[in-house]
Amino acid sequence: MKPKITIGTRAYNAEKTIAQTLESVLVQTMGEFEYWIANNGSTDRTGEIIDEYASRDKRINVIHLEHNQPEFSSMRMLMEHGKGEFFMLLDSDDWLEADFMNELYSQAMKHNVEVAVGGSKFHYIQSGNIGVRKSEISGAFPIEQMPEVYPYIHRFFRPVWGKIFSAEVVRKRWEIMCAKRPEGLMYGGDTFTCFELLYGVNGIYLSDKVVHNYRVHSGSASYVFNFERFNSDVFLLEHAIEYLKGFGTISEHNLSFVYKVYCNAILDTIKVLFSSNLQDENKLEYLERIFEHYHTKYLFEKEYLNDEMLKQYFEVIDYIGSFKVKASNSTLNRVYKAFLSINPILNQCIVKPNFIKTYRTIVKLIVDGKYQKAHELIIFELANDSSSSEEYRVDLLNLMIKTSALLEEPEAFILAHKLLVTTYIQRKENDFAKKILRELEEMVPEDLDVISYKNEINII
């Protein structure tokens, strides 16, 4: 009898978990399956345990690889050997609930769809915490509805496990998918695979049942720094955009969503970068590469960041402040300048990028849209006459002009212009002084200070 599902597992030194994985398959309420396991050059008892189970159940088929092959593909193994109607992958340290196969297969057949997805329980090994990812609704989605449901669907298709795919679809899409996959893809391969396979389906079924268990290890690729990491972030964003374009013009809602996914990805990359052993200057160079990328600039320009993302970016600023590099470091200044582009007011007003570190509170107030408090703090700093306020006086006055305009305070607006002219005159930056003075003349041509400034500049 032809199996309904073919399961694939790649195991390497999994002696502590592989028995639970195997047991969870053998106790499935649907027994029409075949199981292919590759012992990927294990040096512990993994191979012995697998062989022992295979001797007891003919549905288990074992491939022993002499040496560990990280590039070994479980999905390709299924294509070469699998006879099931559907394929599914199972990690060697994960396990299934007893009704996993019956739930997903029966629903896929009932709704005539090529993919069925169940919920997963996440077991965080280090903390002992448990999380759950599952659909709040149960039902089938025609693929034509993808533009409407993409943000909801996306989270279920980031991993390749916890679901079954039509074997026919996998076979049709495999070579195309392999050709499109970049060699240096460091992580996110599951997401790429899932959405490539979705090109070949007519519908998706989402189950509201939690039927899969996943162990989360801090040592996985998602937590390890690699110079290709940011390239992977960019590739996954562009792959998502390409996928959505297949349905026509991308909605602003979906565009915002994919850029927020990208934002979270680069924030994770930055965290992993900071925990790496790279020198501070090398970290700065990598940060510059991230923030100078046109996708990151677009992310900031469109103001897609939510409050939590902004909070994390400010944590990055604090961390950079601990780097052992000179304040005049050109890379540091370019990185700070890139941060300023998060907000158009800061981008327009700040001349010295280090302002973002020295006056973090003011910067955060402006980003949060709390202009009144920012305005009051700016005036306080200017009146305080400290070395910092002197160094960043032009930046503070530019911000005072901007916040005065936003708060519709004409007296403060004109005062800030006057103070800026005075500052430029004192610094003998006459071209800048003349520019601001021309703006003042348009506003208050008869003002005595304005007349005095004109005379002073002419004398100089």
pLDDT value of position 222: 60
* Spatial distance between the Cα atoms of 232 and 215, rounded to a whole number of angstroms: 23
pLDDT score of 219 more than 80: no
In terms of C-beta density within 10 A (0-12 exposed, 13-18 middle, 19 or more buried), how is residue 203 classed?
middle
- Torsion angles phi and psi, residue 33, rounded to 5: -140, 165
User: How far, CA to CA in Å, does 370 sit from each of 308, 311, 341, 353, 452?
Assistant: 17, 15, 18, 21, 35
pLDDT value of position 386: 85
Higher-pLDDT residue of 34 and 327 is 34
List the beta bridge partners of residue 178. Answer: none
pLDDT score of 218 more than 70: no
How sure is the predictor about 221, in pLDDT bands with cuts at 50, 70 and 90? low
Mean pLDDT of 47-62: 96
Going by C-alpha positions, the residue among 222, 156, 227 that lies closest to residue 188 is 222
Domain positions in the chain: 5-223, 225-342
- 279-289 pLDDT, tens digit per residue, is 999 999 999 99
pLDDT score of 374 more than 70: yes
How sure is the predictor about 124, in pLDDT bands with cuts at 50, 70 and 90? very high
How sure is the predictor about 460, in pLDDT bands with cuts at 50, 70 and 90? low
Please state which architecture CATH assigns to domain 5-223. Alpha-Beta Complex (3.90)
- 396-421 pLDDT, tens digit per residue, is 999 999 999 999 999 999 999 999 99
pLDDT value of position 453: 83
pLDDT, averaged across the chain: 92
pLDDT score of 223 more than 80: no
pTM given for the model: 0.87
| First-to-final CA distance of the chain | 98
How sure is the predictor about 346, in pLDDT bands with cuts at 50, 70 and 90? very high
